Structure 1
């Protein structure tokens, strides 16, 4: 089963109002469905990939029989979810390494919906009823219920003050529309985020061989690869190491873009097949669709690249 997706707000902070809406924090982590319908716990990413081995500290979810939960896996740093800290965890499949990381920096699964509980499918029930069912579950260690609020404007201000990602508004009467992006859920973020394809990379100008910048792209509705711009921020530490390893495995002889790449960006670039997905944060987009001030936050193996959309 695929998760339900939210529609972006028309503009920053433009959340719906009225008693028919509930509001939740938009957590900066990775989406996961927790599924025990097979008799054991399986964690599924938004893109349908199994991620169970990466998070052994969530094994207690297996005690919830024949259940499917929806939530966000987060890793707290200084009291706030840190995607950069989580990036090291999401790719791990070796059991011993996953266990060591779980002991050192355990994740938390923040649950915000239930699709099935104790063998009963509840996706057709209203949001408020599903939340009541969720509140009645005995959640294990490292699993918490994501709070619900009545005042979206107040929550928007609080999330901004505490450096959180944003707010999601959910229509209280709405069913769970698995696999659909619905206007019954509306998301508003304080900063823009997207997943993108890496299509080329450049070394630092110092000649030390370290990763200095990457060229990003996205496919439009016709399958053409469009240019999103060049990003040089965020390419440090484990992020740079993981990304460079992935790019070295996918070289290409020429630029795969269907757009023209500015000569200043193409100069000195090593091209690669558009198979590596990264998470980016950016200020906004130019009229031609380029990302302004993009920052690379980590490699994503749990999510597909976002499609090109006209700004």
Structure 2
């Protein structure tokens, strides 16, 4: 089941709130254990510590959750998940000891072979809480937080981006589980900040998206920081006069992309002197904003020296 983005926290009867964890979505079955991604990619061998914990649960379960990694600094570490995802079976087993991960379980879709998808979320949650009460802690399996108090949800939304939580999920406790539908809502934590335009997708005179840069506070070099969502025709027209194509650029001709399913990002290099205001969420990986960011406006009143360094949001 999927979610639609909203711009504010909804309130109302029967609404339940959960943190929006930044990790790998996972469906997990028992008897035998089978972990799979949203695209049905098997995950058992990538996260053996979680698979081993699932094997101790009763047979006939189907759980929905998010695989996360808490780093030693108390933040969510998405980079560790990427390392695990590309590791060999032997390497993944070693990483399970040095960088253990958790499955945050937030829904129960089958128990004892009995399908619960048609039951209300509040009913499924009650059964899930009883099941997770059997799990001896500490364990790679943990019950996801949930509240019906919008004030608590607002506190999560305000405080938890500091540890890498993306926002808040909003679900109706009366609703069934409908695979593939966007019956949930998500309120992601976004801020506006500035970035330097280092390239454009498309032509400099008709940019389709922007490749953004930030100066590395250690080396002083301009590094790739992210990519914007596709621009509207009006935004493209607004930006085109500011874009100057160049062959003298610090970045390679193609970039290893971390946005969506693209393998490499082809782009046009432009002189890195234009500053734009953008709205990223809190997810980061390898020194970049992990998700595409929303373009807000061009900032001709600012110079690259005015832009925060690294991925900071304030100078």
Q: Same fold (TM over 0.5)?
A: yes
In structure 1, what is the equivalent of residue 107 of structure 2?
Answer: 113
Matched, 1:56 2:55: no
Matched length = 242
In structure 2, what is the equivalent of residue 210 of structure 1?
Answer: none
Cα distance, 1:178–1:144 mapped onto 2, change above 3 Å: same
Q: How far apart, in 2, do the equivalents of 1:161 and 1:295 lie?
A: 12
In structure 2, what is the equivalent of residue 190 of structure 1?
Answer: 189
Matched, 1:44 2:36: yes
Instruction: Indicate conservation of the 8 Å contact 2:121/2:173, yes or no.
Output: yes
TM-score by length of 2: 0.62
Cα distance, 1:179–1:278 mapped onto 2, change above 3 Å: same
Q: How far apart, in 2, do the equivalents of 1:295 and 1:26 lie?
A: 11
RMSD over aligned CA atoms reads 4.1
Q: How far apart, in 2, do the equivalents of 1:263 and 1:58 lie?
A: 50
Q: Once the two structures are superposed, what CA deviation does each residue of 1:146-197 show, in whole Å capped at 9, x if it has no partner?
A: 1211212332224422423221111011111111222xx21112237xxxxx
Instruction: Indicate conservation of the 8 Å contact 2:79/2:285, yes or no.
Output: no
Instruction: Indicate conservation of the 8 Å contact 2:14/2:148, yes or no.
Output: no
Instruction: Indicate conservation of the 8 Å contact 2:190/2:281, yes or no.
Output: no
Cα distance, 1:131–1:294 mapped onto 2, change above 3 Å: closer
In structure 2, what is the equivalent of residue 285 of structure 1?
Answer: none
Give the CA deviation at 1:226: 4.2
Q: How far apart, in 2, do the equivalents of 1:267 and 1:177 lie?
A: 52
Matched, 1:71 2:54: no
Matched, 1:278 2:259: yes
Cα distance, 1:226–1:106 mapped onto 2, change above 3 Å: same
Counterpart of 1:26 (choices 20, 28, 44) is: 20
Q: Structure 2: which 5+ runs fail to align?
A: 192-196, 219-223, 225-238, 261-275, 298-315
Give the CA deviation at 1:16: 1.5
Q: How far apart, in 1, do the equivalents of 2:148 and 2:135 lie?
A: 24
Cα distance, 1:167–1:216 mapped onto 2, change above 3 Å: farther
Taking the TM superposition and a 5 Å limit, the aligned residue runs for 1:129-148 are: 129-137=123-131, 138-139=134-135, 141-148=139-146
Instruction: Indicate conservation of the 8 Å contact 1:233/1:295, yes or no.
Output: no
Q: How far apart, in 1, do the equivalents of 2:43 and 2:103 lie?
A: 13
Instruction: Indicate conservation of the 8 Å contact 1:229/1:290, yes or no.
Output: no
Secondary structure at the aligned position of 1:147 is classed as coil
Taking the TM superposition and a 5 Å limit, the aligned residue runs for 1:86-125 are: 86-125=80-119
Q: How far apart, in 2, do the equivalents of 1:270 and 1:151 lie?
A: 49
Instruction: Indicate conservation of the 8 Å contact 1:278/1:298, yes or no.
Output: no
